[in-house]
Amino acid sequence: MIDIYSAGNMDFTHNGDMTLLPESCETECELNGTWEMELNHPIDEEQRWTYIQEGAVIAAPLFHSKKQLFRIYRKKKSRLRITAYARPVMYDAAKEVFIDVLSVTGNGQQVLDAMLQGQDQYHATSDITRTAQIECSGTNFIEAVQGDAETSFLNQLGGEVFYDNYEMIINEKLGSDNGARAEFGFNCKEIEEDIDMSDVVTRIIPVAYNGYTLEGETPWVDSPYIGNYPIIYKKKIEFKDVKLKEDAGEDEQGFETLAELREELIRLCKEQFQQGVDKPKCNYSCDMYALEKTEEYKHVKGLEMIGMGDTVQCKHKKLGITTTARAIKITYDNIRKKNSAVELGDFRYNYLKEMSAVAQRVEKTIRKDGSLIAEQVKGTIDAMKASLLAQSTAAKKTNSAAFLIEVLDEMSELYGAMEAGTQGLRLAKEKLQDGSWDWRTCMTAEGIIADLIVAGKLADKLGNNYFDLDEGVINAQKMTIGPFEVGTDGFLYQKEGESSSESYWRAIIGPDGQTGETRFRSDYVATSNIMIDTVGSGGDPTKTGRAEFSDGSYMDFVDGILVGGKTSEGGDI
């Protein structure tokens, strides 16, 4: 029986204001998606159709209950019929329950209790034991639980959502395994099949820590289903926790012998096969009413009564394998009280919804020209070539907020890693023997540490002093080198207490056959003016002479080479 309650009638313990006689009434429910009813009712002489108004509540059976309440949010009328669209009454919380608390920290039940504090109409339960902080100030209850925000309940704590009138249930996993079975692989247009072999592995080549493998010419373990496929699906899997005792750390356990280590590798490979790595990902969509008229109906008849999230053993006739799938989408016939359509497969979060949320977060950090908004930094990240692991379970645990970008394919030219966070950035192109990255370049707020820095030009902020490494030019308008300083006039000054000395070249001594005059000054007074004669010929002259200083010291040059001299104290140079 399908009843309808007028918009102002909240007494759902009794029958409704009118019993409806619809032509059709189906409810489509998707795991962690929308639940929506569509009811088509004739324009009847008894005027039952007139009760179908916005805000009215329809009571109808569903796969888990004899009476579920759905509030009409839209109606559409034609000459012959009226169509109503309705959602679970728990959705009313989106209009009635606004959360005032800034944030809530706790496990699933604690968070839900805090969100619904102070009202009695709506209830929520959860068996999720892990904890998280949920930001929910100024949002309604439904948005705080299932919204796109990164800090929503589902995005922080996970879980699967189920509606039961004015109660929302968010558990780790919905459904049960009641032994339901179905057989597929027939040429039947009423069943849509999606068989994905991309992750199938039927031959594992195990590798332990330090590169130890199985011995012999066949260092691999095969799946019992290896003969069910036209080709062998090979994959090398590293088990880095499997170590010899001599390689294990203080808090680690290792194997005494190589034979014991190899036995463990074999066991782990078999465990992988038990977990289903040798089976494809299968998704089946079944039109149950269309199948009723076919021979294949007997193979899927059990799907008529399964509930949301229930487990089904799916046998594929052609492949000869059995996979485990779950009911992830159900269309329930509220009149005939059974499923009219079922989708089986691996539970997949709404991909477009998740990508939309990611895009919103990325959009805030990128300018219109594609550069990143960051102080003194502009860059481009090629998301097709690198895997960004921005989660604590994938990145190495650090004492600061950080993320890790790494390419693990050793044959790729992009092989390497970058870790960045609030305390700095570090880069690596190789790994150490223990499998960790060999961080060779590091940058922090204190400076840069690197084996090699490659640059074109290094300059000060104003560009007055720079090293042009491409051209081999050093330009210094104002520079101090030890006790010397280059003045704004281009002269080199030696600082000695309150006095200073200067020297400058009147001509370049050395190349291209040029002669030169060197003038030495002390306290800006010329004390010597020495010509250094040119020796040699052929455009490759060198200089010979003596440079004398006012304190009595001197230096002797022969062919441009310092060969001796005396200090003012009489010592030899």
Residues 103 and 155 in one domain: yes
**458 in a domain, yes or no?**
no
DSSP-derived secondary structure for 279-348? S-EEEEEEEHHHHTTSTTHHHHGGGGG--TT-EEEEEETTTTEEEEEEEEEEEEETTTTEEEEEEEE---
**323 in a domain, yes or no?**
yes
| Interior angle at CA 330, CA 328 and CA 335, nearest 5 | 165
**Residue carrying structure tokens 């003038």:** 519
Range of 295's domain?
A: 180-196+280-345
> Which of 229, 256, 274 is at the close of a domain?
274
> Which of 34, 60, 91 is at the close of a domain?
91
Residues 446 and 521 in one domain: no
Contact 28, 36 (CB under 8 A): yes
Direct distance between the N- and C-terminal alpha carbons of the chain, in angstroms, rounded to an integer: 115
**142 in a domain, yes or no?**
yes
**557 in a domain, yes or no?**
yes
Domain total in the chain: 6
Say if residue 382 is exposed, middle or buried (CB neighbours under 10 Å; 0-12, 13-18, 19+).
Answer: exposed
**463 in a domain, yes or no?**
no
**CA–CA separation, 404 and 417 (whole Å):** 7
Instruction: Specify the pLDDT at position 99.
Output: 81
Residues 249 and 317 in one domain: no
Reduced to 3 states, what is the DSSP secondary structure of residue 144? Answer: helix
pTM: 0.56
Residues 80 and 9 in one domain: yes
Length, in residues, of the chain: 573
Residues 7 and 87 in one domain: yes
Q: Please, where are the H alpha helices in 176-257?
A: none
At a CB cut-off of 8 Å and minimum separation 6, what does 448 contact? 441, 442
At a CB cut-off of 8 Å and minimum separation 6, what does 264 contact? 208, 239, 242, 255
**469 in a domain, yes or no?**
no
Residues 338 and 189 in one domain: yes
Contact 198, 186 (CB under 8 A): no
Nearest to 208 by CA among 235, 236, 239, 237: 239
Contact 157, 111 (CB under 8 A): yes
Contact 282, 323 (CB under 8 A): yes
Residues 188 and 336 in one domain: yes
**485 in a domain, yes or no?**
no
Residues 526 and 432 in one domain: no
**573 in a domain, yes or no?**
no
**CA–CA separation, 342 and 368 (whole Å):** 44
Instruction: Specify the pLDDT at position 412.
Output: 72
Residues 318 and 374 in one domain: no
* pLDDT tens, the chain, 573 aa long: 999 999 999 999 999 999 999 999 999 999 999 999 999 999 999 999 999 999 999 999 999 999 999 999 999 999 999 999 999 999 999 998 888 777 889 999 999 999 998 889 999 999 999 999 888 777 899 999 988 888 889 999 999 999 999 999 999 999 998 888 888 877 667 788 888 999 999 999 999 999 999 999 999 999 999 999 999 999 999 999 999 999 888 888 899 999 999 999 999 999 999 999 999 988 888 888 888 878 878 888 888 888 999 999 888 888 888 888 899 999 999 999 999 999 998 754 443 343 334 344 444 444 444 444 443 333 323 332 233 333 333 344 444 456 788 887 776 778 888 888 777 888 888 887 666 788 877 777 767 776 667 777 777 766 677 777 777 777 766 656 556 666 666 565 666 554 444 444 333 344 444 444 444 444 444 444 444 444 444 445 556 888 888 778 888 888 767 788 888 878 887
What is the DSSP secondary structure assignment for residue 410, as one 8-state letter? T
DSSP-based helix, strand, coil % in the chain, nearest 5: 15, 40, 45
Residues 189 and 211 in one domain: no
Reduced to 3 states, what is the DSSP secondary structure of residue 486? Answer: strand
Residues 374 and 318 in one domain: no
- Residue 284 burial (CB count, 10 A): 22
> Which of 37, 63, 91 is at the close of a domain?
91
Contact 104, 115 (CB under 8 A): yes
Residues 307 and 227 in one domain: no
